Structure 1
Amino acid sequence: MSQGRITNRPYETAFSISRIDAWACRAPIKGGSVATSFGIMRDRPAVFVRIEDDQGWFGWGEIFANWPAAGAEHRVNLLMDDIAEIVLGKLWQTPEEMFWSLEKKTQIRAIQCGEQGPFAHVIAGLDITAWDLVSRRAELPLAKAINANAHQHVPVYASGIQIGAAQAEVPKARKAGFDAFKVKVGFGADDANRLVELSHAMKATERLFADANQAWSFDGARSFLQATRSVSLGWMEEPLRVDDAPQNWAELAALGVPLAGGENMAGKSEFADALASGSYSFLQPDVAKWGGITGCHEVARDIVEAGRTYCPHFLGGGIGLAASAHLLAAIGGSGLLEVDFNANILRAGFSSVEESINGGNWAIGSEPGIGITELPAAVLATVSLVRSCCV
């Protein structure tokens, strides 16, 4: 996999960061919690980041903070106390240069404290800010800054629907304009029967996906797929742990249900191994967990070139979702954009995000960058920690 594939850009790419601001946010959850097979979210966290140069140009990004429960404030402190000093005041020729430099310079720190994930999350968020800044300065939507021939619309699907609530939630998502739905499974023995029942209510033009969030052993995953043979699943996401034996993934893939994964992969080599295995039909890097725009663009290109489908994973706030939409539009292909259907003011509070979704598609629009210029009041009301750092 090669670096720096975005070439011959007809706009200025160099930038220097003079100020970094970061906000840890925690929004209450309507109904009390959001359940996955491995844990329960009792509030909705997010970390939003803003950078600014000495000319007043700025860019927004988002850092993954869903897990652990204390992750949001930790990521803000990690950014300000460990990483800000490496980026402030330095002239970067491109966002890619900053990304790969930060990956290299923080490796020992991350190993020393066993926190490779959190360091990767922070670097990913900073990379998004850099891309937003240079594309905003060029007066181009981020998708067009990456690829002049980027798509104007990308299809979306509703996610985050717990299988126990799916009979009630899928009709709501359908009414909201979605025609593809992903339900969370891996909670208990009734999940297979519930999925079969739900499939009977699907329209011929609709698609149904399932996500186990790494819940099962090989035997459990195989049993579930065999029990749901009558369901025309678009994909089965993370039926096994991401680090389970490759032969187990291969045996599941041989059952005929397309497999998906990637949100818990980090680094080009892990995605290369996943592609080489042949087990994954859909690969789902997350711009806020690893890679930002730079890394995810490279692996997304490899995914498409290998004949697989790139479908960005995202379960967070409005900034990361917008960045994911722009990257998918730039890559093209037949992928879908994941849109969490659970109520979350950290997503819905950005009016431009909600207005972008219509008729089962996300419209990229003509606003420069990712199309977000400030944190709305509803989001600022959820802030639990804010820190700034300047040259």
Structure 2
Amino acid sequence: MSSATLARVEAHVFRAPIEEPIRTSFGTMTERVAVFVHAEDSDGARGWGEIWSNFPTASAEHRALLFADIVAPRVLGRSLDDPMALWAEIDRSLHVLRLQSGDAGALSAAAAGLDLAIHDLRARKRGLPLWRALGGSDDSPVPVYASGLNPGRAALETVERARASGYRAFKIKVGFGEETDLGSLRPVASKLGDDERLMVDANQGWDLAAACRMAPRLAEFGLGWIEEPLPADRPWAEWVQVAAAAPAPLAGGENIRGAGLFQQAIDSGLLGILQPDAAKWGGHSGCLPVAKAALAAGRTYCPHFLGGGIGLMHSLHLLAAVRGPGLLEVDANPNPLREGVLGGLLDVTEGCVSLPGGQGLGLEPDLKPLANFRSLHIERRA
């Protein structure tokens, strides 16, 4: 393979209206956004990535501009022979800007999106599916779960739709008060099949007192995990108390940034399920080592992702490369920026999706059907 350099990048921002808002304990999404990024090297090879911008949606254009004007200039004209070393260099170079701007999350996500695109590009040039280029060897179907389920009566309706679509595991949002949370879970739990699983996500919505009060109340549901019962930056001493009160393993990681912090989370033993988001921090270069370390320590790796179709495909390939007992998170809510990109590529059968064929992501995104949703397009060249 020739030693090619990064010649061109693009960022595409899309905004799509939705009929049913998506509720979380930290806010409500009234539209779906996505920032898709495209990289091309000096040989003409191409790859695609996605920058996390799920909420607040106002961040989408800002992150695309950070990608184009802050992150890309550090890489344009550089060799792509060693994506992991390149990402580590970018990450180090952004350290002072994270401190100066207070924009650590947005800068990390912009760098992550570029890393994803570069790994896709490299896999395509090698003639390999991305999961194999990342070190995977198992091409069996990948288990999935339906995520983003709104609280209240809608939870049961969404679970029934997801079940009819082939899902066998479901995650419901909690953190809306005891009455609402238990009212969401009981109808769903009462109808679960023997081969089905149920999880909950508090989205950092409880403080220590609320988490220790609510966790025991969830024992009746036989949960697979309790996700983010506390804000990600709370001291480990608080997580110890919640873990002692919880009837199920704790999950988290989507709001952790940095290999050192992930290793602390793994070493603590308090998170049974590690959930880094490759479009939010690290890309494949950062998250692949975290996933391997989690499995080596006896934890479960489940990639976090709620966004457009390109980021979801990257999460699929990363989980397929690492495997273990983890499941792929798939947003159960309608999203034109996912379905419009994927079509029927990730149809669920008996709780699993098949790996796509072809090179790289196994997907060449056609953005033309999304043209009416585009709010910004930026291009930068070496």
TM-score interval, smaller chain: over 0.9
Equivalent in 2, 9, 15 of residue 26 of structure 1: 15
Structure 1 residue 161 corresponds to structure 2 residue 149: yes
Post-superposition Cα deviations, 1:129-167, rounded to whole Å, max 9, x if no partner, equal 110001011111000111251343210000000121111
Aligned partner of 1:232 in structure 2 is 222
The 3 A distance-change label for structure 1 pair 321 and 353 is: farther
1:202 aligns with 2:192: yes
TM-score, with normalisation over the residues of structure 2?
0.96
Deviations 1:85-134 (A, max 9, x none): 11111123211121001001111122111111111001100000110001
Q: Distance in 2 between matches of 1:279 and 1:211?
A: 16
| 1:43 aligns to 2:43 (yes or no) | no
Matched residue, 2:166: 177
Q: Are 1:382 and 2:373 an aligned pair?
A: yes
AA at the equivalent of 1:226: P
Aligned to 2:236: 246
- Using the alignment, how far apart are the partners of 2:34 and 2:288 within structure 1? 23
Query: C-alpha distance in 1, partners of 2:330/2:37?
Result: 21
Partner of 2:73: 85
Moved more, 235-244 or 250-259: 250-259
**Do residues 69 (structure 1) and 57 (structure 2) align?**
yes
Alpha carbons 2:136, 2:320 under 8 Å: kept:
no
Amino acid at match of 2:239: W
Question: How far off is 1:54 after superposition?
Answer: 1.9
Aligned with 1:230: secondary structure? helix
Counterpart check, 1:332 vs 2:337: no
Residues 1:106 and 2:94 are matched in the alignment: yes
Instruction: Give the structure 2 partner of residue 362 of structure 1.
Output: 353
Residue 172 of structure 1 and its aligned partner are, at CA, apart by 0.5
Per-residue deviation at 1:53? 1.2
Q: Does the Cα contact within 8 Å between 1:13 and 1:134 map onto a contact in 2?
A: no
User: Helix, strand or coil for the counterpart of 1:80?
Assistant: helix
| CA 356–96 in structure 1, closer or farther in 2 if over 3 Å, else same | farther
Q: Using a 3 Å threshold, how does the CA distance of structure 1 residues 348 and 257 change in structure 2: closer, same or farther?
A: same
Cα drift, residue 384 of structure 1: 0.5
Contact 2:136 2:322 in 1 (8 A): no
The change in CA–CA distance for 1:15 and 1:243 in structure 2 (over 3 A counts) is same
Q: Report the CA distance shift for 1:64/1:117 in structure 2 as closer, same or farther (over 3 A).
A: same
Paired residue for 2:280?
289
Name the SS for the 1:213 alignment partner.
coil
Please give the secondary structure, in 2, of the residue aligned with 1:117.
Answer: helix
Instruction: Give how far 1:240 is off.
Output: 0.7
Q: What do the CA deviations read for 1:350-382 (whole angstroms, capped 9, x no partner)?
A: 235644533321211221001121333332321
3-state secondary structure, aligned to 2:364: coil
Q: Is 1:54 matched with 2:12?
A: no
Residue 363 of structure 2 aligns to a residue whose secondary structure is coil
- 8 Å contact kept, 1:181–1:207: yes
Mark the CA change 1:95 to 1:150 in structure 2 (over 3 Å): closer, same or farther: farther
More deviation in 191-200 or 151-160? 191-200
What TM-score, normalized to structure 1?
0.94
* 1:211 equivalent in alignment to 2:201: yes
Q: For the residues of structure 1 that align with 2:3 and 2:209, how far apart are their CA atoms?
A: 52
CA distance in 2, matches of 1:148, 1:279: 27
How far apart in 2 are the matches of 1:201 and 1:13?
A: 56
* Contact 2:232-2:255 at 8 Å conserved across structures: yes
Matched, 1:321 2:309: no
**1:8 aligns to what?**
none
Distance 1:253 1:307 in 2: 17
1:132–1:369 Cα contact (<8 Å) kept: yes
1:74-153 equivalences in 2 (<5 Å): 74-153=62-141
- TM superposition shift of 1:253: 1.3
Q: Secondary structure at the match of 1:187?
A: coil
